Amino acid sequence: MNVKPLYALIVSILLAAVAGCATTADNAEPRQTKSGQAIRIEYWTPFSGGDNQFMTEMVERFNREQSDVLVVQTNSRLDDYYSRLRTAILSGNAPDVAINHATNLPQFVQNGYIEDLSVPAEEVGLDWSVFNGNIMGSVVYDGHPYAVPLDTHALVMYYNKEYLSAAGLLDSSDKPILDASEDGFVSFLRRIQEAVPSDVAPLAQPSTRIDSVWLWWSLYNQLEGGGSFYDEQGSKATLDNPQALRALEFVHELYASKLIPPDINDAFKMFYDGKAAVLITGMWGTGAFEHAPALDFGVVPLPTIYDVPAVWGDSHSLVVPTKHGMTDEKRKAIMTFAKWMVEHGEKWAEAGHVPSMTRVVRGEAFNALKYRSDYAATANFVKYWPRHVRQWSTTEVLIREFERMNYGQQTPEQTLKIAAAKIDAELKR
Amino acid sequence: MKRKRSLVRWFTNQELARKLILINFLLVVVPIGAMGVYTFSSFENAMEKNVGAYQLQTIQQLTLNIDTYMNELNRLTLSPYQYNEILEYLSADRKPGQPLTLEQIGHLNGFVSKIFINGRIDIMGVSLYGEKGASYVVLPDSQYVTSYILDESAEWLKRAKGLYGQPTFITTHQIKSTSGTTYDVFSIARELRSFDTGETIGYIVIDIDPAAVRGILQQVNLAAGESMYIVDQQGRMVIRREDEDLAPPLPGELQGQGVRHVDASGGMPESLVAYVTSPVTGWTTVSVVPVKELMRDSHKVRSSMTLVIVGFVGLAMLLNVFTAFRVTHPLRKLSRLMRKVEQGELQVAFPVTGQDEVGRLGGSFNTMVSKLSELGYLLYETEIREKDAQIAALQSKINPHFLYNTLGTISMNAELEGNRDIVTMANNLSRMLRYSLSSRQDIVTLKDELKHVNGYMAIQMIRYGERIRFLEEIEERALGCVVIPLIVQPIVENAINHGLDRGVGSGLIRLTGSEKAGVLTLAIEDDGIGMTNDELERIRSRLRQSKDLGGKSGNGLLNVHRRILLHYGEPYGLTFESMPYQGLKVTMTLPAVR
């Protein structure tokens, strides 16, 4: 018998057996999770109005629409946010991308705490000229953009249509009938006070925290010659002046006359629950109020009580903290996310903010939103806090002193004097 | 028993090649198969055990990690003890919603901020409750609230009360911010007590985003189909991994730690469940692996093992069949040849290729067949010769009575006439005829045979008269030997023919006989013309080789020689000695049998 076919048979059987093993090994190999390939981006936010749910929705939508980048959002309350962020940066644990208020940028731009975004923006094709000029100005330092502006937000005046109409203070287009002057505003609130139940605040403003400071800064800037904060060197406070006092006295009068009831903690919730006729707060409340089931409200820009329109405002922007281990790949992923965020400004506008991109503000989607167009123009006369590296601390000083005033522990004059002295001391440190 | 016997019989009757194949099959397949089954089942058991141990170890480590994190939170709930203002606030009599002073706001806010900042980033809310109506609750996205009152029926509260200040962990639940957003949190609660009075002052509750713990869970690389989650004492889900869409089924009460094999029930597949209850939270970390998934790899191993075994067994069987047929092939050929031989075909030969048993068997077969064919020929020849002899006898028997009577009548008439020669000749002839015709018996004594020769010679003497002389010298003891009939007379006849008829003058015929060493030797000599060497050689070779029967007309000597050979075999028979003109001596050797 010829032996060759037998060998061929043996070899082919062995080969088949080996091939069988090989294929089973192949099948076992590829089992990797999907998120394993995506670049994970830590994202910190300080939203504590109604706007956080909108931010969360946007992040979720971004994560859904693409699979290369996975953004993980961590929200803290604004009260603790900057302490936390500063500690994180100093301890090398900074997030990959964080929300920063334009007001706070100077302290982060100093010492290179956040990255210059000129080059990374160019890489993902983010054109800086698409932003509103006023907003863009707030993020450029020495000609370099250090943050991607998301929005402008400023104080606006929300009003409960039910109560205003009961007081006969609504015109045919459902706008409040209001004489824009100190007396006019006071009598507006008095007429409301007379028309509403005693547990409803004519004007709701918290006695604590920053709200009264914002109102004062807005009114101070409406006055001719107002708005001065530091001297030219930025080493001394200049806010103990007649204009500042006039504005502050007016704010104090609103509290003292109980047109703003005492001991208010959560004014936002009061208006949301229908326990306030008028609320002066940031425009970020719009989206949340729209979701309030029993609330029929309107919103207008803050009335110009004095000489020129002016209102406190700030801007949310995205910054990239400088840290060890940041790669170009990750930086690109962050900028892709930032670009997506500004291009989807109309979604962010649902929270109530005015988007940073001119195209979005002019676009149909934004203008189709109720209320927003009523205050979109506000962005043009927003008064930011002065650009100063200690601004965060000096504002904290103002808050503490204003709280004392609101609780009747000191007069407006004393408040300004003490605040100026404390700020001077703070600046010298 | 019967079946067994019939099976054995069936097996015994199988062809040799089949037997070999069957035996090899049993020897190869049964042990390998049994080994495969045993190996795989022990492998499977060992694997389940190992996986269970590994699973348990994994979740022990995991629980330890989570506990470390929980202890960190736990320490945070102790912080109110470091702030007298907080304890005072909680101890005070307060109406729900009663406004706070600026100092209280400062202290409370500062305290909560410290917890938020010093604690982990995933702290979502901090709540302080006083026994006498005080509260300070901070929820995500919300300002503090002071209007909450303790819900005395809350389960966690009841639990916290019995723990002497130990913390209690509250299963994942939802909290709602003032803007309406809901958040999933789990909580840690602790009863706060006054050292001086020993009474309960209030409670602190910290709400935590489960994402961090989920992150710890998420770090574990799960096996396919494995689910991992944490349940509380009541078996309610606390935290599960993001990548598990459905709440995994809960396999009953699990406390302590261990590995359990759970059979399939109610939509839950047969699974291996490992669990560890944390001493810190009292929650149980559970890992469930469907056995099917667990064994998926081992099933792959099994199939490849089976494939290899089947492959090799197949190969072995192939070789086995091949060798079985190869080994039995010569046997089958031999058996075929045997059958031919059986049918009488003797011209066959088995090609012997080796010196193994089969080769030797083949050789023996060949020898046997050749012997058989020779033997057959001899038998055949004997039969023919017997027949010839009988035919010859029959021919001479034609009317023997008539011949006897005739010879009797001749003898009587010659007696009356007084002719003694005719009487003698007729009587001798009659005796010779009787001997020849009655010699159906195979053996006679030498004495009888010599009597016959003497009768013949008496006739020839009368015929040749003085020209012939006949000498007979036989040993007395040789006379009793048994011989074949009619073997001496033809030789004597030949001697007369060759020695006398061709010669001239008188001739001597000499018959000598002796018995020595078991051999009977008879010699018949004449003194005739003898034979030349060539003639002698020719006759010798005819004796040696020819199977020619001599025929009716053939040489009588040849006939006698063949008959002796057939009857007694070698080396008996006739030998010739002669010289020209010296006569011929024919020597006959026979075994001396009595």
Report which of residues B267 and B221 the model is more confident about.
B221
State whether residue A16 sits within 8 Å of chain B by CB.
yes
State whether residue A93 sits within 8 Å of chain B by CB.
no
| Cα dihedral across residues B115, B116, B120, B126: positive or negative | positive
State whether residue A403 sits within 8 Å of chain B by CB.
yes
Q: What is the mean pLDDT of residues B207-217?
A: 86
Assess whether pLDDT exceeds 60 at residue B548. Answer: no
What is the rounded distance in angstroms from the CA atom of residue B248 to the CA atom of residue B250?
6
Report which of residues B390 and B227 the model is more confident about.
B227
Torsion-angle region of A376 (φ positive above 0: left; ψ -120 to 50: alpha; else: beta): alpha
CA A411 to chain centre: 31
Segments of A161-236 assigned E as strands: 201-204
| Most trustworthy range by pLDDT among A343-357, B175-189, B401-415 | A343-357
Cβ-Cβ contacts under 8 Å, B107 against chain A: none
| Residue ranges in chain A modelled with pLDDT below 70 | 1-36, 49
CA angle B578, B581, B587 (to 5 degrees): 25
Which is it for strands A354-355 and A151-160: parallel, antiparallel or unpaired? antiparallel
R_g (Cα) of chain B, nearest Å = 65
Write the DSSP symbol of residue B499. I
Phi, psi of B383 (to 5 degrees): -60, -45
Q: Which of B135, B139, B141, B296 to mutate to test the interface with A (most CBs of A within 10 A)?
A: B141
**What is each CA distance from B145 to A98, B139, B153, in whole angstroms?**
28, 8, 21
Asked if B204 and B157 count as a contact pair (C-beta separation under 8 A), the reply is no
Q: What is the mean pLDDT of residues B509-523?
A: 90
The whole-number pLDDT of residue B435 equals 81
What is the rounded distance in angstroms from the CA atom of residue A73 to the CA atom of residue A63?
11
Assess whether pLDDT exceeds 90 at residue B324. Answer: no
Assess whether pLDDT exceeds 60 at residue B500. Answer: yes
Asked if B96 and B298 count as a contact pair (C-beta separation under 8 A), the reply is no
What is the rounded distance in angstroms from the CA atom of residue B497 to the CA atom of residue B468?
12
Lowest-pLDDT range of A59-68, B14-23, B169-178, B536-545: B536-545
Among the partner-chain residues A31, A79, A206, the one whose CB lies closest to the CB of B113 is A79
Asked if B68 and B120 count as a contact pair (C-beta separation under 8 A), the reply is no
Show which residues on chain B lie within 8 Å of chain A, measured between beta carbons: 99-102, 105, 109, 113, 116-117, 121-122, 138, 140-146, 178-181, 224, 243, 297, 300-301, 303-304, 307-308, 311-312, 314-315, 318-319, 322, 326
User: ipTM, 2 decimals?
Assistant: 0.81
Report which of residues B211 and B63 the model is more confident about.
B63
Measured in residues, chain A has a length of 429
Give every CB contact of residue B371 below 8 A, 6+ residues apart in sequence: none
Cβ-Cβ contacts under 8 Å, B307 against chain A: 16-17, 20
What is the rounded distance in angstroms from the CA atom of residue A97 to the CA atom of residue A320?
5
Phi, psi of B577 (to 5 degrees): -135, 130
Closest-CA distance, B109 to chain A, in angstroms, reads 9
Give the residue among B121, B174, B178 at the shortest CA–CA distance from A48.
Answer: B178
Write the DSSP symbol of residue B98. P
Averaged confidence pLDDT in chain B:
83
| Cα dihedral across residues A350, A356, A362, A363: positive or negative | negative
Q: Per-residue pLDDT tens for B55-89?
A: 899 889 999 999 998 998 888 999 999 999 999 99
Q: Per-residue pLDDT tens for B279-321?
A: 888 899 988 888 887 777 777 888 888 898 888 888 888 888 8
Closest-CA distance, B227 to chain A, in angstroms, reads 15
DSSP H or E stretch at residue B90: helix B84-91
Among the partner-chain residues B141, B224, B308, the one whose CB lies closest to the CB of A52 is B141
Give every CB contact of residue B37 below 8 A, 6+ residues apart in sequence: none
What is the rounded distance in angstroms from the CA atom of residue B504 to the CA atom of residue B501?
7
Assess whether pLDDT exceeds 70 at residue B248. Answer: no
Q: What is the dihedral of CA B411, B412, B415, B421, to 10 degrees?
A: 0
What is the rounded distance in angstroms from the CA atom of residue B481 to the CA atom of residue B563?
17
Which is it for strands A97-101 and A276-282: parallel, antiparallel or unpaired? unpaired
Q: Per-residue pLDDT tens for B419-459?
A: 888 888 888 888 888 887 765 566 788 898 898 899 888 88
Q: Name B587's bridge partners.
A: B523, B575
